[in-house]
Amino acid sequence: MDRTGIFDLLPEEHLFWDFSAPDKPVLLHLLANEVANRLPDVDADVLVDLIEEREAVQSTGIGDGLALPHAMVPGVAEPTLFLFRLRPAINYQSLDGAPVDMVLLLLSPAIGLRDHLRLLARVAQIVGRVNLLDRLRAAPAADVAHRILRGAEGPRAS
């Protein structure tokens, strides 16, 4: 990860704009199905179980309308991200009590907890930058959001 940006882990086809779900449990199942459609070695039911286990410890709704669920998942070969902009926002039992309208899902291989936590910290640091979430919320389409994220980390090392 030293020479690439964290959002190099987020291909444009992993962005979902104006995604909708009535509540958190349904959302988690829909997210898992979208992931399994794009990563055929990932079992949607296993992914939902892993995310729900993590949510039972503490909500990954970290505040300001953002949820950052994450899991180490069998069938994931390389760390990858998925971004879902929700319309409308839903109750996610966030730490600040605010509804969630942005979900950034981090999946890592089922080995390497240290690397997984390091990636999670980098993602949280970057999305916490001033105005980034507002810029993503204002993006009219996923391709625009993808460009915003790719530029969020500044210049890449060469």
- CA dist 94 and 65 (Å) reads 8
Residues 6+ apart with CB under 8 A from 76: 39, 41, 42, 107, 108, 109, 110
**Known catalytic membership, residue 70:** yes
Q: 147-152 long-range CB contacts below 8 Å, 24 or more apart?
A: 149/7, 149/10, 149/83, 150/5, 150/7, 150/8, 152/7, 152/126
Which residue among the candidates 14, 70, 116, 146 is catalytic per the annotation? 70
The catalytic residue positions are: 70
